[in-house]
Amino acid sequence: MADHNALLLQKPVEVETIWAGTHLAKALDSPNRLGTLWTLSRHPHAMTTVDGGPMDGLTMAEAVDAAPDALLGGHEMLHGGYIDADQFLSVQVHPDPAYAEHHEGDNGKTETWYVIDCEPGATLVAGTTAKTREELREHVENGTVGDLLVHHEVHPGDVVHVPYGTLHCIGAGILCAELSMDSDTTYRFFDWNRVDSAGNARELHLDKSLDVVRLENQPQIVPVPKTGESRVTVAVKDPDYDTLVIDVHGALPYDHRGRPAALMVVDGAGTAECDGETVELGSFGTVMVAAAAGTVTLRGDMRLFVAEGK
């Protein structure tokens, strides 16, 4: 038996938030107010654990430390989860890798979302019309920063790519999957004047947000319609990872080309088979494919949201 998994199914980490919807809590039969379900993470903020196989019970940090070449093959670690928003999240921005390393000892963060479901007319924030950082600061201080935020209407099946440095915010009534660089450095720019149950406003990080914001950044929004056929659609190519949508109806071979990959279920269910291992894939599930693994055979009737590390 190999000393590492080809397919690393994850035990997720539940995170309560003040803006949570009800989809995740109902699906997982949880009493908690779940806004986020981290389903692939090596980050200490919310680290997932391997479920089954030779590495069963290891945290992702322990698994990668035990077999870095087999799991990552010199590529970057990926991060994945599901977000269920009943209210707008805070408007936030992530730094680039150099700034994050220098100021936080962390990685930068580009992220990509797949809209699983949303209310009609639901929007998210990505980008700003501000021309200068001084203009942004002035509007924050005047309480009018909302006038400078760009809203985008989204629909189920949309892939939304948000590079680091982009002001962004997932909107109310959106259930989505998220794939990203492995980081937890988030600078909260604006929180809609919201307070918690104790009447306290959440901390803002205005100076750091203005340090790292890239005013020219805009999102990529790529609709991926369903055709009823098995296919692999490359939605976004980015310097840090590529994002795909894979539709499976029956059986489909998936070649990850020697790169670590994160496979997230966004519709339906099925299995993944590789190197003698088989894992079940269902609602709100994620499996990491090791870089050293062979071709993966996907079976079932499902749609997967996938990232491949670089």
Residues with active-site annotation: 188
Determine the Cα–Cα distance for residues 89 and 35; give it in Å rounded to an integer. 10
Determine the Cα–Cα distance for residues 63 and 41; give it in Å rounded to an integer. 11
With b for 16 or more beta-carbon neighbours within 10 A and e for fewer, the 115-140 pattern comes to bbbbeeebbbbbbbebeeeeebbebb
Determine the Cα–Cα distance for residues 292 and 254; give it in Å rounded to an integer. 14
Determine the Cα–Cα distance for residues 196 and 28; give it in Å rounded to an integer. 25
Looking at the chain, how many residues does it have?
Answer: 310
**Cα–Cα nearest to 170, from 192, 148, 141, 202:** 192
Amino acid making up residue 269:
A
